[in-house]
């Protein structure tokens, strides 16, 4: 049986002795952080972590002191003072003493429950009905020593989104982790291949092509900004069984997840010369098409697997609010591997923008069309500054007009997010991790789909309002089956070396 141990810190040359002074104390929350306090988008990030061993609560608490509590935002209240003329009563960071007993909840479930998986699922769902008191730093950790089908125990970390976005929280989590294969080494994150810079030398044709590329980006941005403004004013998505009504952000969520093979995703990626994100968007388009076709044809026999059997209305407008990490674009070039050497080095915050990503809904004769469509749309969205615009717009509106103006669009059908996780199997505070399942609740949509990689697996997490989407496990089945179908088509068409696979 494995034993847990305290986390051995990685040596770093940076001086972190004064980190507990809370460098953000007295500073107002950023405009993006305040957006996550709006009544219609009071968003929490909730991460379910499965472990291969039973959790030792005392080991976890001891390690939290040297990791999470060295982060100012995990040690500060978010308080307001109308009398504070300098900040006009805005929420600001206020240093406080942290009592871990207020944040770490050790749950002793009945070990004879009929379905441990459903017990954990219900527990998470019940958490989505509650909010963390603003009288303490807005995070908590729930430890459940209950064996499920996928893990020996489960930890549930809940953090208000104002503290940080998915990328910064993943970096913090990674700083608390070590490789299973090397207990003294930090895990690594997948890195995208950097494009080689174009040579400054070249003929007139090369300079002309560069100019056209720049003009195309500005043109695409103009088109996207106009479409964004039209969306905010009146352009709503088609009312489908997945589209929630206004006010859906305050409803409880049912959160389920499905683990698929990263190798299967890479097989499709390589065959289609696409990215991991392209493949997962394509799989999601296929799954939503299957799901909606079944819903629209529920009174008919069969759902149809080809275009001739489609029950779908024509011209469905279905878009995702898709989030983009802006750190590479806003001059924030800190080396994540350096930041992860100490939890206190990780810079939390919300440096994210978003784009309105149109999903193609329809049944296709060729399942690879879903990937081709996702790839084309993804390429188009990379040639635009839409994400930076939405970020700057949110900052501007919240800074000058308060949270009454500016916010996340309610006209889209879902939120979609893809965050890379550790490439190797890891331990966290000495506990070996079986899976990682982050998602959100409080968002102004009835559906969120989150994708995260871990070692040789990909976890697809679905967060739904059960009044709108009463069968999230069926949606997970559709996601899993869609990936299998697309992979089978790739192999059938000979687009990959099956012997290598």
Residues shown for the chain? 501
384 forms bridges with which residues in the sheet?
Answer: none
CA 289 to centroid of chain Cα atoms:
22
Nearest residue to 132 (alpha-carbon basis) of 162, 165, 93: 162
Q: What are phi and psi of 476, to 5 degrees?
A: -65, -40
63: tokens are 């390690």
Find out whether 383 and 217 touch, Cβ atoms under 8 Å. yes
- In sequence order, the 6+-apart residues with CB closer than 8 A to the CB of 3 are 430
Residue 257 is a catalytic residue: no
CA distances from 358 to 227, 273, 373 (A): 12, 21, 10
Nearest residue to 73 (alpha-carbon basis) of 8, 165, 10, 143: 165
3-state secondary structure at position 178: strand
7: tokens are 């986390």
d(CA 386, CA 415): 16
**C-alpha radius of gyration, the chain, whole number:** 23
Taking CB atoms within 8 Å and a gap of at least 24, the contacts of 272-275 are: 272/368, 272/371, 272/372, 272/375, 272/490, 272/495, 274/371, 274/374, 274/375, 275/375, 275/378
How does 412-440 read in b/e, with b if 16+ C-beta sit within 10 Å?
bbbbbbbbbbbbbbbbbbbbbbbbbbbbb
Q: What are phi and psi of 479, to 5 degrees?
A: -65, -45
d(CA 216, CA 205): 16
Tell me how crowded residue 470 is: count the other CB atoms within 10 A of its CB. Answer: 11
DSSP string over 57-74: HHHHHHHHHHTGGGSGGG
Nearest residue to 426 (alpha-carbon basis) of 455, 451, 452: 455
Torsion of CA 479, 480, 481, 482, to 10 degrees: 50
Sequence-ordered alpha helix ranges (H) in 235-275: 262-272
377: tokens are 């749309």
**Pairing relationship of beta strands 426-428 and 177-179 according to DSSP bridges:** antiparallel
d(CA 453, CA 259): 9
Among the options 37, 160, 161, 431, which is catalytic? 161
Catalytic residues: 161
């Amino acid at each position: 049986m494995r034993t847990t141990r305290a986390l051995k810190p990685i040596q770093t040359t940076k001086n972190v002795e004064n980190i507990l002074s809370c460098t953000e104390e007295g500073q107002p929350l950023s405009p993006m952080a305040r957006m996550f306090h709006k009544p219609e988008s009071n968003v929490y990030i909730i991460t379910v972590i499965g472990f291969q061993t039973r959790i030792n609560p005392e080991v976890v608490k001891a390690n939290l002191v040297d990791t999470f509590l060295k982060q100012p935002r995990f040690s500060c209240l978010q308080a307001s003072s109308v009398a504070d003329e300098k900040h006009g009563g805005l929420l600001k960071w206020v240093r406080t003493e942290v009592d871990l007993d207020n944040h770490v909840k050790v749950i002793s479930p009945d070990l004879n429950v009929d379905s441990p998986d459903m017990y954990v699922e219900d527990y998470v769902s019940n958490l989505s009905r509650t909010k963390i008191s603003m009288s303490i730093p807005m995070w908590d950790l729930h430890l459940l020593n209950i064996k499920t089908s996928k893990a020996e125990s489960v930890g549930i970390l809940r953090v208000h989104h104002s503290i940080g976005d998915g990328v910064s929280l993943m970096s913090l989590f990674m700083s608390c982790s070590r490789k299973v294969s090397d207990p003294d080494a930090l895990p690594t994150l997948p890195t995208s291949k950097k494009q080689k810079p174009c040579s400054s030398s070249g003929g007139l044709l090369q300079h002309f092509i560069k100019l056209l590329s720049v003009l195309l980006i500005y043109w695409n941005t103009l088109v996207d900004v106009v479409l964004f403004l039209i969306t905010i004013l009146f352009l709503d998505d088609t009312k489908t069984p997945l589209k929630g009504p206004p006010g859906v952000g305050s409803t409880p969520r049912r959160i389920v997840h499905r683990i698929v093979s990263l190798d299967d995703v890479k097989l499709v990626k390589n065959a289609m010369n696409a990215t991991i994100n392209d493949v997962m968007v394509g799989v999601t388009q296929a799954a939503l098409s299957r799901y909606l076709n079944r819903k629209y044809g529920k009174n008919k026999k069969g759902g149809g697997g080809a275009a001739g059997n489609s029950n779908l209305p024509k011209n469905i407008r279905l878009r995702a609010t898709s989030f983009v990490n802006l750190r590479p674009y806003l001059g924030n070039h800190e080396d994540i591997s350096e930041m992860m050497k100490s939890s206190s080095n990780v810079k939390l915050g919300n440096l994210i923008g978003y784009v309105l990503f149109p999903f193609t809904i329809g049944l296709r004769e060729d399942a690879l069309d879903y990937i081709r469509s996702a790839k084309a749309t993804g390429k188009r969205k990379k040639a635009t500054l839409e994400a930076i615009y939405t970020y700057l717009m949110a900052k501007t509106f919240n800074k000058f007009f308060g949270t009454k103006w500016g916010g996340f669009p309610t006209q889209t059908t879902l939120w979609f997010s893809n965050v890379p996780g550790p490439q190797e199997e890891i331990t966290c505070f000495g506990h070996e991790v079986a899976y990682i399942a982050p998602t959100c609740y409080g968002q102004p949509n009835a559906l969120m789909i989150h994708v995260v990689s871990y070692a040789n697996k990909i976890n697809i997490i679905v967060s739904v309002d059960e009044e709108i989407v009463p069968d999230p496990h069926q949606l997970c089945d559709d996601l899993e089956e869609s990936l299998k179908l697309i992979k089978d088509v790739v192999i059938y068409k000979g687009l990959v070396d099956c012997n290598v696979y």
